[in-house]
Structures are given as structure tokens and as C-alpha cells.
Amino acid sequence: MKKYFSLVLFAHTIFALPFAIIGYFLAVTTTANHFDWLKLVLMLACMVFARNSAMAFNRYLDRDIDAINPRTLKRDIPAGRISAKAALTFTIVNCSLLVITTWFINPLCFYLSPVALLVILGYSATKRFTALCHLVLGLGLALAPIGAYLVVTGAFALLPVFFSLAVLCWVSGFDIIYALQDEDFDRGQALHSIPAWLGKVNALRLSTLLHVFSALFIILPVFFTTVSFSWPYYIGIAFFCSMLIYQHRLVKPNDLSRVNFAFMTTNGIASVVFAVFFLIDRILVN
């Protein structure tokens, strides 16, 4: 089990999971639907299965690339801790569990589960043909808030889309920062990424622009006339935006020594703290 936790980097769930919880409680507190423990547990299970599927498949598909990249050659498959066959089997099992779980939620989630799998699994192949791979990763994680909303309501709405767009821009932006480490390797292997395409300086500028849009999408729900937000949500906005600014102060084109801290720590803290203030806001308003 420890090996599989290492394979899927379970700690990275901290990026999307808080926004899935936001989507769930957004639906509970802004619609006629009530809190349901079973639906919450099923939603969390879907998040775990989706994360496991995406990461295991990424490691499986990239195993040959990881074996020649100095930064990744110690990952589980190149290092021999887990076989490629075991990783693929793990992927198939988790994909199956995701689809089965959605059957017990509602028909819409069940019918859309193959679409979600197509996005989160398809990301792993995109670096082979497009520099927009970062946006596909962002799209995969952006499914979390709107997907959780659908778990509760079984119907689409505009409000959760703002949070999904915020996640899309946020994740795409910080994945570009993370990819700065592999700029030269990607060029040498004919792999596609924003840093390999635009260079470090312009890649950071695009990342900054994406994070500006992420902040705007976090703010836009405040102007949604049918829902009221209070002071905790405004504090959450301020904190989330400050963490976006902070991570860009950590990383410079000529100094990538703090990329991992900017990627994991600041973004993990940003999502968790923002979700906490969102939940406080929902408790106070309701």
C-alpha cells in the first residue's frame, strides 16, 4: 500500500480535494438539496479513484521518459519498486471503481464518468503533441468543484463553473512553474511544454496571467446576485490571492531552487485555507 501511495503521490490530492468540498457545500447551501453523508462519502471516493487513476496512468505512460530524466529517474516504475503491469492494473481497477461509484450517485454523474476519465487520463499523452498540456491538467482538476456540485444536485448551474475556471487557471499556472525544471530536457526529447515553447521568462509571464484570471474567477461569485457571501469568504479570497503572488516571488527565471516549495507547499496551503474560509462563510450565512 505504501508503494502505491508513493506511485500516485496521494498528498497531491490536496490541490483538488478542497475545491471538491467547496463544490459539494456550495450545492448544499445554495439549492434546495440537503446535506447527505452518503453522497459526501461517495464524492470523496470518486476523488480518490480519479486521482489514483490519473497519477498511476501518468507514471505508466511516462515510464520510459521518466527513466532518462535525471529529475524523475527515481520514480517508482523506473526505480523498479512497482512494475509497469502493476501500475496499469491499478489504473484499470481505480477507473472501474470510479464508474461503479458514480452509478450509486445519480444518472448524470454515471453518464459523465467516461468523459471525466478521458480528460484525466488523456492529459498524460498531451505533452507529446501540444504545449497546452498544462491547460489539460488544469481542466482535469477543474472537474472537481462542478463534479461535486453535480453529486448533490444532478444538474448543471453557473455558480460552480466560476470555481472550476478558477481551478483551471490556478493549476495550469502553477504547473507551468513546475515545468520550468524540465525546459531543456523537454526540448531535447521533443516534448511539448510552455517553458520549452516560450522560454522561462515568457512562461512565467503566462503563468502570472493565468493566476490573475484565477483570482478574478474566485472573486466573481461575490457578484452572483442570488447568493450572498460574508466576510470569511473575502478573507479567503485575500489569502488565496496573496499565496498566488507569493509563489511568483519565490521563482525567478534564473533561480528555480524554490520551485518545489512554490508548487507543493504554497498551493496546498492556498487551497486548504481558502476552503476553510469558504466553509465558515457558508455556516455563518446559513
Confidence band, pLDDT 50/70/90 cuts, at residue 168: very high
pLDDT-derived band at 136, boundaries 50, 70, 90: very high
Q: Determine the structural domain holding residue 161 and report its residue range.
A: 2-285
Looking at 74-83, 91-100, 162-171, 179-188, which range is the least confident one?
Answer: 74-83
C-alpha span between 158 and 96 (Å, rounded)? 30
Say how far apart CA 38 and CA 45 lie, in whole Å. 10
Q: In percent, how much of the chain has pLDDT > 70?
A: 95
Q: d(Cα 131, Cα 135) in Å, to the nearest integer?
A: 9
In the chain, the N- to C-terminal Cα span, in Å, equals 41
Per-residue pLDDT, averaged over 55-71, amounts to 94
CATH number at residue 61: 1.10.357.140
Element (H, E) at 72: none
Structural domains in the chain (count): 1
Range from 24-33, 188-197, 201-210, 219-228 carrying the lowest mean pLDDT = 219-228
State the average pLDDT over residues 68-92.
91
Q: What per-residue confidence (pLDDT) applies to 264?
A: 76
User: d(Cα 207, Cα 247) in Å, to the nearest integer?
Assistant: 11
Contacts of 62 (CB under 8 A, 6+ apart): 72, 124
DSSP class per residue in 134-190 = HHHHHHHHHHHHHHHHHHHHSS--SHHHHHHHHHHHHHHHHHHHHHGGGHHHHHHTT
pLDDT value at 81 more than 90: no
Residue 175 and residue 193: Cα distance in Å, rounded? 10
3: CB partners within 8 A, 6+ apart? 76, 81, 82
Residue with cell 453529486: 151
**Would you state the pLDDT for residue 91?**
94
Residue identified by cell 463553473 is 161
Give the range among 3-12, 14-23, 145-154, 262-271 with minimum mean pLDDT.
3-12
Taking the C-alpha atoms of residue 276 and residue 117, their distance in angstroms, rounded to an integer, is: 28
